[in-house]
Amino acid sequence: MKISFIGAGNVAWHLAQAFEKANHSIVEIYSRDKKNAQKLTEKLYNATPTDRLDFSHSKSELFIISVPDDAIAQVVSELKCPKNSILVHTAGSKNLSVLEPLPFTRKGVFYPLQTFSKGKPIDFKKIPICIEAENETVEKILQKLAFTICDNVCFIESEDRKTLHLAAVFACNFTNHFMHISKNILEKDGLNFNMIKPLIEETISKALSKGPENAQTGPAIRKDTNTINSHIEKLSFNVDWQNLYVLLSKDIQSI
Amino acid sequence: MKISFIGAGNVAWHLAQAFEKANHSIVEIYSRDKKNAQKLTEKLYNATPTDRLDFSHSKSELFIISVPDDAIAQVVSELKCPKNSILVHTAGSKNLSVLEPLPFTRKGVFYPLQTFSKGKPIDFKKIPICIEAENETVEKILQKLAFTICDNVCFIESEDRKTLHLAAVFACNFTNHFMHISKNILEKDGLNFNMIKPLIEETISKALSKGPENAQTGPAIRKDTNTINSHIEKLSFNVDWQNLYVLLSKDIQSI
């Protein structure tokens, strides 16, 4: 397929290169700041960088909006695409309907359920790509496209995609934050975060293999009140973390 | 060394076998329920199972208490060890001083910083073993012993061990709980936890390689109020999780 990207962030960065490897051709990369678009086109065979949202005369059949979730509405309000081209966004938290202001396109969602960073290579093969489309024809085109880069394609409607996104916030953003808190607690006492890395790796491996509901350990699940109280006391330097510790311990005991 | 274990749980299970592989000899395994001790001795060359805490005539030079943290004090109050034998516990949350009621032994702590399950093999080589001892002679004996099964031996005093343990509660117990919540959220809407496993693996890998402080993504750090509000609304079936969502989002934005 001939594909253009609206956005040159982490998702576009990896997706554009994966599509090119799978013999699709990337036509344009848009970014508000043309320099960002250019950084990505330099990684591609023959794509043109641009900072204009008028694609009326583009040769692309598919336009992929991969800007920050909150910027989609603004981009859509300015975007011009060829009649009958396919327009998708890659956002976990946004409805298909956010694309409605562009009536002459065929619409869908192409949501790779993964976290991307520019510096870190990604193997798309194992990543679930969640597809939604306004009709079956578009659904099939997007499905076929997804299968050219990955093995795991699912059809997920907007409401379920929101559920996935919410679940990911708990399992990823909040767990990352707890590792951040953990690192701060260690460094405050001159200890190195590296020390607990093997423990974290094993914890996650256990949770994923036997299920988190069978993998819980620690003072809360043991109802070890002495340890819980001594931890709360040790957290006296940060009332918010004390509060989180109490709530989490209670929730672990009640689930 | 000649070693006996007081306790036949997950830690004793792995540690006893690792010591035997490193050519130490395991003499006795104690458990309140002798059958549990027997299950472990069956895995060992020539150890005796017992449900009695009188080891006055034992040939062991080292006694390792690996019972649940809250049971240590009780065990210590009943335990009899040969004069001058070394007595250690393996608990992250307990002071060295919990062993004080046994005045004729030499005391220490031997804390492998890892989570153990009987069914899951463990490679001790990579696990940090945290040592504390009442004097340098004992410290050296424990250090030498630890190096026979692992490459990473650290000297950590009781207060720092408590810090490590608290940090591990955040980075492991609480993250496991959030994966549990995440799984519940998905299953409530008929979605499978497997879908987000690649995302979890990548999140943890990123947090460990570039540091959690550089790896945060998601609606909270982006201050994406629309998404945050729609997530809170979606959590209306569980007020505790709503509350956690709000607190975590606030803390991510403030750190």
pLDDT band with cut points at 50, 70 and 90 for residue A117: confident
Q: What is the pLDDT of residues A32-53, one digit of tens each?
A: 999 999 999 999 999 999 999 9
Binary contact (B199, A166; C-beta < 8 A): no
Confirm if B205 and A172 have CB atoms less than 8 A apart. no
Q: CA B150, B208, B176, A204 torsion: positive or negative?
A: negative
Binary contact (B208, A222; C-beta < 8 A): no
Chain A CB contacts of B68 under 8 Å are 222, 224
Residue whose structure tokens are 């036949």: B8
pLDDT of the residue at B69? 85
φ and ψ of A153, to 5 deg = -110, 130
Distance CA A167, CA A153 (A): 19
Q: Which two tokens mark B226?
A: 């629309």
pTM of structure? 0.90
Chain A CB contacts of B254 under 8 Å are 240
Q: What is the mean pLDDT of residues A237-249?
A: 97
Distance CA A89, CA A98 (A): 9
pLDDT of the residue at A133? 97
- Closest Cα to residue A162, out of A95, A254, A232, A78? A95
In chain A, pLDDT over 90 holds for what percent of residues?
Answer: 89
User: Which residue of A lies nearest to B253 if distances are taken between CA atoms?
Assistant: A177
Q: What is the mean pLDDT of residues A242-248?
A: 97
- The stretches of B111-218 forming alpha helices (DSSP H) are 136-147, 158-168, 175-188, 197-210
pLDDT of the residue at B207? 96
User: Which residue of A lies nearest to B185 if distances are taken between CA atoms?
Assistant: A167
List, as ranges, residues 131-170 from B with C-beta within 8 Å of A. 154, 159-160, 162-170
pLDDT of the residue at A92? 87
- The answer to whether A186 contacts chain B (CB < 8 Å) is yes
Chain B CB contacts of A203 under 8 Å are 115, 171-172, 175-176
- The answer to whether B253 contacts chain A (CB < 8 Å) is no
Query: From the candidates A173, A226, A228, A253, which should be mutated to test the interface with B, based on the most B CB atoms within 10 A?
Result: A173
Distance CA A158, CA A83 (A): 24
Nearest to A198 among B126, B209, B234 (CB): B126
pLDDT of the residue at A13? 96
Could you say which DSSP state residue A155 is in?
E
List, as ranges, residues 62-121 from B with C-beta within 8 Å of A. 68-70, 93, 113-115, 117, 120
Binary contact (A200, B171; C-beta < 8 A): yes
- The answer to whether A192 contacts chain B (CB < 8 Å) is no
Q: What is the mean pLDDT of residues A108-125?
A: 90
3-state helix, strand, coil in chain A (%, to 5): 50, 15, 35
Q: What is the mean pLDDT of residues A77-96?
A: 94
pLDDT of the residue at A120? 83
Confirm if A129 and A112 have CB atoms less than 8 A apart. yes
- Closest Cα to residue A201, out of B91, B156, B209? B209
Cβ burial of A49 (10 Å; 0-12, 13-18, 19+) is: buried
CA distance, residue A68 to nearest chain B CA (Å) = 9
Q: What is the pLDDT of residues B11-28, one digit of tens each?
A: 999 999 999 999 999 999
| Mean pLDDT value across chain A | 95
Chain A CB contacts of B180 under 8 Å are 212-213, 216, 255
The residue type of A199 is L
Q: What is the mean pLDDT of residues A84-89?
A: 97
**What's the ipTM?**
0.90
Distance CA A31, CA A49 (A): 8
State how far Cα A172 lies from the chain centre: 10
pLDDT band with cut points at 50, 70 and 90 for residue A115: confident
As a whole number of Å, the CA-based R_g of chain B is: 22
pLDDT, tens digit only, all 255 positions of chain B: 999 999 999 999 999 999 999 999 999 999 999 999 999 999 999 999 999 999 999 999 999 999 988 899 999 999 999 999 999 999 988 999 999 998 889 999 999 999 888 888 889 998 999 999 999 999 999 999 999 999 999 999 999 999 999 999 999 999 999 999 999 999 999 999 999 999 999 999 999 999 999 999 999 998 989 899 999 999 999 999 999 999 999 999 998
Query: From the candidates A120, A169, A217, A223, which should be mutated to test the interface with B, based on the most B CB atoms within 10 A?
Result: A169
Pairwise pLDDT comparison (A117 vs A157), residue with the higher score: A157
Distance CA A45, CA A142 (A): 23
